[in-house]
Amino acid sequence: MTTTQRVHWDLTYDVHLGATWGRFMAGLTEQQILANSCPECSRTFVPPQAYCESCFVRTDEWIELPAEGVVEAFTVAWQGFRGGPTPPYAIAGIRLDGASTLLMHYVGGLDLDDPSAVREQIGPGTRVRAVWAQERTGQILDITHFEKI
Amino acid sequence: MATRAVIGGAGITPATSPRKQTSSSLELIQEAVWGALQHSGAAPDSLDGIVIGNIDGFEGTVLGAKHLVRRLGLGTELPVSILNTGGTTGGNLVQVAARQVRAGDRRRVLVIGGPTFFGAQDLQSAINTNSPMIVEQPLGMGAYHMGAFYPSAYTERFGATVEDYAVSAVQDHEHASRNPYAHLRNTMTVDEVVGAKPLSYPLTMAMVCPVSTSANALLVCAEGTTSDLRPTPVLIKAFATSSDPYLGGGKNDFAAMENLAILAQKVYQLADVRDPREEIDVVEVFSPYAPMQPMQLEALGFAPPGGGIDLIRSGATRIDGDVPVNLSGGPLCTNAGVAGELAPLVYVALQLMGDAPEAMQVPGARRGLAHGTGGTFFQFENLAILERT
């Protein structure tokens, strides 16, 4: 007895970025990583956000952060998923210099063949720098990945 | 004084893989619902509300919960509340039901958690749609990757090894082997967990939850209205939730479960718990990735920072220890979506009623802790203290 039947969804969406992320994406096309900060707690957000989630006030000042920072958390994926990148690949939470939040991104240029050797390559504390795409269209992958400095 | 909410019955279905499951979602939910009614002794016409949840997109429909309730055989007049908060849906079902009862709006609410991981052909890609769009989703971050970020930072601070992260998996499997409702009931050694297929550093396949199918139901009642029910009522003494920022990168520290620690302080204060290790008899935490469990136990005050793995190694969290943890085997051995999120509350309630399956019952358990968490980086936490009345 068959107890399953297959259903398929094929839908395309437009996500409306709004002013704050729109400005962030525009910055990426100019090879700039734009952040903004809270007037009360002075924390600096990247990606930027319109409100501070701690102080419940509008953010105001915009600043450009250096495209360099430190890995605080990471993983290397050895198994992929449908629609995802081809494994293995490394992803990390990166504290850009001057940022109060982590920016998630790929870390490239690593030898990922040996699982026991990845930690020494991109363990927390590793300094990394953004590598820019040749063609930039205003998306997070305008930075193709970060690489070790 | 406001009405207090109690749990008056529970229903569970045995779990299995989607491949082996021959019942439909509706049939599993019906089994859990009628199981809860039978366990409680409540007549169907004594219900005055249903709280049910689903996770958009996971089941190939966004109508998952709505189209089910009329087909449960409980009549057509019951008001229905539908929740959709991703990985915290299961916990929030009970929170909402308890609030409806405490507000005096309802007296007997049936809480239903269905098998929402049932259908997706590639659940990882479905879960990835819940990852923040635009800035994190394009980076190959799905679900198990998120469970891997924590141990990478925890290792840096406390020096834990991959073998250390395996201990909670070994214990969860040992506990699940005693639970007739669990999906994975095999026991495992540390070497087997460490030697399993590498998934996402430092996680191996054995440190990550399975995709299960099962359903759970709980009956939430106004205190003092349960004289027609068979089980010893279990008081929902305290229930609260807490959130980190939506983006994973908004978390402050991956080496500690800071958000859970803040929530625990609040809930312990509400429940008048001063020394959790001394005062709590049974614990179910939501740790679908093995390294999360020791960190959660630290945030909940059962061990100091960096001490969670030693706590598990000491035997204190086993069935014969002073603070048994995840006697159900936890989500590492059974995870059926919303049903899995509801499971910690179901199992703790059964323990406190004295109605848990015999092989996993903690004798005389009086006070229990049930935890849930969701979000692609576990930004969202819920926590309850339950007490035998």
A71: closest chain B residue by CA: B153
Residue B217 and residue B240 share a domain: no
In a domain, A4, yes or no: no
Q: Is the pLDDT of residue B1 over 70?
A: no
Burial of B354 (0-12, 13-18, 19+ CB in 10 A): middle
Give the gap in angstroms from C-alpha B4 to the nearest C-alpha of chain A: 32
In a domain, B133, yes or no: no
Residue B345 and residue B304 share a domain: yes
User: Percent of chain B, pLDDT > 90?
Assistant: 80
Residue B216 and residue B349 share a domain: no
**pLDDT lower than 70: segments of chain A:** none
The pLDDT, as a whole number, for residue B31 is: 97
Residue B193 and residue B275 share a domain: yes
CA trace torsion B22, B25, B29, B30 (10° rounding):
-70
| CB-closest option in B134, B197, B201 to A75 | B201
B136: closest chain A residue by CA: A104
Q: Is the pLDDT of residue B64 over 70?
A: no
Q: Is the pLDDT of residue B182 over 90?
A: yes
The pLDDT, as a whole number, for residue B283 is: 98
| Exposure letters B130-163 (e unless 16+ CB within 10 A, then b) | bbbeebbbbbbbbbbbbbbbbbbbbbbebebebe
The pLDDT, as a whole number, for residue B144 is: 81
The pLDDT, as a whole number, for residue B34 is: 96
For B311, phi and psi rounded to 5 degrees?
-60, -45
The pLDDT, as a whole number, for residue B68 is: 80
Q: Which domain holds residue B154?
A: 142-210+236-388
The pLDDT, as a whole number, for residue B337 is: 94
In a domain, B376, yes or no: yes
What ipTM goes with this model?
0.93
Indicate the helix (H) or strand (E) that contains B155. Answer: helix B144-158
The predicted-structure confidence for B30-45, as pLDDT tens digits, reads as follows 999 999 999 999 999 9
Among B194, B222, B250, which residue terminates a domain?
B222
Among B222, B251, B284, which residue terminates a domain?
B222
Residue B152 and residue B30 share a domain: no
For the ranges B177-186, B359-368, B374-383, which has the lowest average pLDDT?
Answer: B374-383
Q: Is the peptide bond before B288 cis (omega within 30 degrees of 0)?
A: no
Instruction: Please give the sequence-ordered ranges of beta strands (E in DSSP) within B78-208, or none if there are none.
Output: 80-83, 108-113, 198-200, 203-204
CB B388 within 8 A of CB B353: yes
Q: Residue B376: pLDDT band by 50, 70, 90 thresholds? A: confident
pLDDT (average), residues B378-385: 95
In a domain, B134, yes or no: no
Among B222, B254, B271, which residue terminates a domain?
B222
> What total number of domains does chain B contain?
2
Q: Roughly how many angstroms between the first and final C-alpha of chain A, as a whole number?
A: 60
Contact B135 A75 (CB under 8 A): no
Residue B366 and residue B285 share a domain: yes
The pLDDT, as a whole number, for residue B130 is: 80
Give the domain CATH number at B117: 3.40.47.10
Q: Please state whether beta strands B80-83 and B49-53 pair in parallel, antiparallel, or not at all (unpaired).
A: parallel
Contact B245 A93 (CB under 8 A): no
In a domain, B369, yes or no: yes
The pLDDT, as a whole number, for residue B245 is: 85
The pLDDT, as a whole number, for residue B58 is: 84
In a domain, B128, yes or no: no
| CB-closest option in A9, A115, A123 to B156 | A123
The pLDDT, as a whole number, for residue B381 is: 96
Contact B133 A79 (CB under 8 A): no
pLDDT (average), residues B166-192: 98
Contact B148 A75 (CB under 8 A): yes
Q: Please state whether beta strands B216-222 and A127-132 pair in parallel, antiparallel, or not at all (unpaired).
A: unpaired
The pLDDT, as a whole number, for residue B178 is: 98
> What total number of domains does chain A contain?
1
The SS3 call for residue B282 is: strand
Best of A65, A102, A116 to disrupt the B interface (most B CBs within 10 Å) is A102
The pLDDT, as a whole number, for residue B117 is: 84
In a domain, B129, yes or no: no
Contact A91 B141 (CB under 8 A): yes
In a domain, B264, yes or no: yes
The pLDDT, as a whole number, for residue B143 is: 73
In a domain, A10, yes or no: no
| CB-closest option in A1, A72, A76 to B201 | A76
Mean pLDDT rounded to a whole number for chain B: 94
In a domain, A58, yes or no: yes
The predicted-structure confidence for A44-79, as pLDDT tens digits, reads as follows 999 999 999 889 999 989 999 999 999 999 999 998
- How big is the CA angle at B126 (ends B125 and B127), to the nearest 5 degrees? 90
For B240, phi and psi rounded to 5 degrees?
-150, 165
Contact B149 A76 (CB under 8 A): no
Give the gap in angstroms from C-alpha B112 to the nearest C-alpha of chain A: 23
CB B72 within 8 A of CB B34: no
Nearest to B258 by CA among B132, B100, B83, B381: B381
In a domain, A13, yes or no: no
The predicted-structure confidence for B134-152, as pLDDT tens digits, reads as follows 999 899 887 788 889 999 9
Contact B124 A82 (CB under 8 A): yes
Q: Residue B250: pLDDT band by 50, 70, 90 thresholds? A: confident
pLDDT (average), residues B168-194: 98
Residue B76 and residue B181 share a domain: no
Q: Which domain holds residue A142?
A: 18-148
In a domain, A3, yes or no: no
In a domain, B136, yes or no: no
The pLDDT, as a whole number, for residue B2 is: 76
The predicted-structure confidence for B91-145, as pLDDT tens digits, reads as follows 999 999 999 999 999 999 999 999 988 878 888 888 888 888 899 989 988 778 8
